[in-house]
Chains A and B, each alone.
Chain A
Amino acid sequence: MHRALPCYVVLICLLLMAPIVIVVTLAFSGEGYLQFPPTSFSFHWFVRFLGDPQWQASLWYSLVIGVIACTIATVLGFFAAYAFVRSNLAGKKLLLSLLLLPIIVPTVITSIAMYFLAARLHLVGNLLWIGICHAVIALPVVLLILLSALQGVDLNLERAALSLGASRARLFLKVVVPLAAPGLISAALFAFLASFDELIISLFLTGVRAQTLPVRIWNSLHLEIEPTIAAVSAFLIGITALVLLVDGLLRGRRAATMNPQR
């Protein structure tokens, strides 16, 4: 019985990774159609992806919106997380649940409500507005990461800084932010990723002109399943892997700064 478990786990792990591995492999295949394993290797599909003006535009929109969403979510989330960790407010549990609402409400509903308002205000296709809407979805992720990171900052360090005459601004800039830096970077990366990968809100809010990468994939899928999509998907997977890698490296640093004493 106890040997069956590891076998099962290995099987499931293969099943979990297989689709991703297959997509990445297909992206590099030289064939004109989907064939696995591919008989030839080529960057052909990536060239088509990056050389196509429409895909380029989508990449650009995804990047811009991602940066906007990441910045807003990280900054607002940082201050909110600090407030949750350090203040004496009553009803923090309720307030935190409110901020987590965006991941509870089905995204379809959020999206059409956002679209309804955006259409009235002529904000459909407005990159800044889309970025802000993405920030609301990314905020819970940022909060969860930063709540943990800020709890690891010793309160006495902040007290020491204040007792030494530091203003609130200096306390944040010179003490809290540097100590929470690994968590901040992780939060920013995951916020960016959340926006970069986001599909449903983008479907409604990007309109015809400002399609992000996931939206363009969705539209292409309704036409035909061609390998360029595989290249785009592989690109998205690559971004995910990069974010996870950096976060993994940062975890080590996070643990180190929290425990300076022997």
Chain B
Amino acid sequence: MPPRDSPPKRNMLNRSALLMLPAFVMLAIVFLVPLGWFFAQTLFVNTDPTGLWSQITDVLTSRAMLQAIITTNWISLVVTATVLLMGYPIAYYLANRNGLRFTLVVFCIVVPYFTSIIVRTYSWMVLLGRTGLINHALQSAGMIDSPLPLLYNKTSIVIGMTYVLLPYMVLTLFAAMKSIDRNLLLAARGMGASGPMIFWRVYLPLSLHGVISGALIVFILSIGFFITPALMGGPSDVMVAMLIERSVEITLDWTSASVMSLFLLAVTLVLYAIYYRVTDVRRLMGA
């Protein structure tokens, strides 16, 4: 009797794929539907197509928006650079240490990382405010007469955001550095290269994909920031996310909020697509 091909495979492996359905249903209902509904309602209902386009350009080219875009880019770039420069040595240290020192440093990074952003921002306000600790200490020591305006400007925003985003950079860089083959460094030493040369010519290039990944993720997160700049910035320091929030809470201008959100979302997704190419999400599944 010749073997026939049996009906479609129904083995245990494919049926377990159904288990991810509830999570996707929740994602659709609670996340995708609100987003879609929001954009659809605010942009497409009650507006004709030609009016829509002029509305979009009006919002995006308004002074407030253009200013916010400039501020957002400037601050995000500065934060990314700061976090990179500060974080690279720390990641390097972690990648080459074990035991107690490793655990302690990781502890110092992870505790802030998991602390609520409002607490972290508040703590910096306590430090930098006019009646804050730094001013208080400097005045008590007699070094200044009146309090320094350390808070409510771009610098304090950068400080606050750096504090929040440093762990992301360190952890990304650490993962990249861990995968650098030690033997390459030994080979370079064996060929007579000096310490600095090994670093600049071998180690840094090998860690570059971590640098790019880390910088991308920090930048992506920065441009969406709202809490820290809102609390720690001055009246003229407005980032895009703050504008969006104000449109909803204060001016109740849903259309503007929608247009700005769409813009911010589009930029975020494009950057994320680049990040996705550079990193490997598949590693998370152990493939």
Residues of A within 8 A of B (CB): 1, 5-6, 8-9, 12-13, 16-17, 19-20, 22-23, 26, 33-36, 72, 76-77, 79-80, 82-89, 92-93, 95-102, 104-110, 112-118, 132-133, 135-136, 139, 144, 147, 151, 162, 190, 193, 196-200, 204, 214, 217-218, 221, 225, 229-230, 233, 236-237, 240-241, 243-244
Interchain CA distance A217-B284 in the complex, whole Å: 36
B136 at the interface (CB under 8 A from A): yes
Residue of B nearest to A216 (CB): B118
Interchain CA distance A34-B276 in the complex, whole Å: 45
Contact with A along B159-173 (1 / 0, CB 8 A): 000010010000000
What's the least CB distance linking A260 to chain B, in Å?
20
B137 touches A229 (CB 8 A): no
A22 touches B123 (CB 8 A): yes
A236 touches B115 (CB 8 A): yes
A17 touches B163 (CB 8 A): no
B204 at the interface (CB under 8 A from A): no
Q: A147-B285, A240-B111 are in contact. Are A1 and B195 (CB under 8 A)?
A: yes
A88 touches B27 (CB 8 A): no
B31 touches A199 (CB 8 A): no
A8: B residues at CB distance < 8 A: 89-90
Q: Which secondary structure characterizes the binding site on chain A?
A: helix
Interchain CA distance A94-B280 in the complex, whole Å: 12
Write 18 A-B pairs (CB below 8 A) sorted by A numbering: A8-B90, A9-B89, A16-B166, A17-B108, A17-B112, A77-B23, A82-B19, A87-B13, A93-B287, A96-B284, A105-B35, A106-B268, A113-B261, A132-B30, A147-B285, A214-B118, A217-B118, A221-B125
Q: A19-B124, A82-B16 are in contact. Are A116 and B284 (CB under 8 A)?
A: no
B15: A residues at CB distance < 8 A: 87
B118 touches A199 (CB 8 A): yes
Most buried by A among B90, B92, B108, B223: B108
Interchain CA distance A197-B245 in the complex, whole Å: 20
B38: A residues at CB distance < 8 A: 112-113, 116-117
Q: How many inter-chain residue pairs (CB < 8 Å) link A and B?
A: 254
B20 touches A114 (CB 8 A): no
Interchain CA distance A23-B12 in the complex, whole Å: 53
Interchain CA distance A217-B227 in the complex, whole Å: 12
Interface size on B, residues (CB 8 A): 83
B86: A residues at CB distance < 8 A: 12
B33: A residues at CB distance < 8 A: 117
A72: B residues at CB distance < 8 A: 26
Question: Apart from A89-B17, A221-B125, what are 15 other A-B pairs with CB-CB below 8 Å?
Answer: A16-B112, A16-B163, A36-B136, A80-B22, A82-B19, A87-B15, A87-B19, A97-B276, A109-B224, A136-B30, A197-B118, A199-B117, A225-B122, A233-B119, A237-B115
What's the least CB distance linking A218 to chain B, in Å?
6
Interchain CA distance A198-B264 in the complex, whole Å: 21
Which of B45-53, B55-63, B126-134 lies at the interface?
B126-134
Interchain CA distance A93-B284 in the complex, whole Å: 9
B111 touches A86 (CB 8 A): no
Interchain CA distance A198-B118 in the complex, whole Å: 9
B133 touches A85 (CB 8 A): no
B12: A residues at CB distance < 8 A: 162
What's the least CB distance linking B264 to chain A, in Å?
6
CB-CB nearest 10 A-B residue pairs: A106-B224, A197-B116, A19-B123, A83-B20, A87-B17, A80-B23, A113-B38, A13-B108, A83-B19, A79-B19
Most buried by B among A8, A92, A113: A113
A33 touches B261 (CB 8 A): no
B19 touches A112 (CB 8 A): no
Interchain CA distance A133-B32 in the complex, whole Å: 11
What's the least CB distance linking A15 to chain B, in Å?
8
B78: A residues at CB distance < 8 A: none
Kindly identify which residue among B30, B104, B127 contacts A114, using a CB–CB cutoff of 8 Å.
Answer: B30
B117 touches A93 (CB 8 A): no
Q: A139-B23, A244-B111 are in contact. Are A108 and B136 (CB under 8 A)?
A: no
Interchain CA distance A98-B272 in the complex, whole Å: 12
A199: B residues at CB distance < 8 A: 116-118, 227
What's the least CB distance linking B83 to chain A, in Å?
11
Q: A20-B112, A87-B16, A197-B115 are in contact. Are A34 and B131 (CB under 8 A)?
A: yes
B18 touches A113 (CB 8 A): no
Interchain CA distance A254-B115 in the complex, whole Å: 24
Interchain CA distance A17-B254 in the complex, whole Å: 40
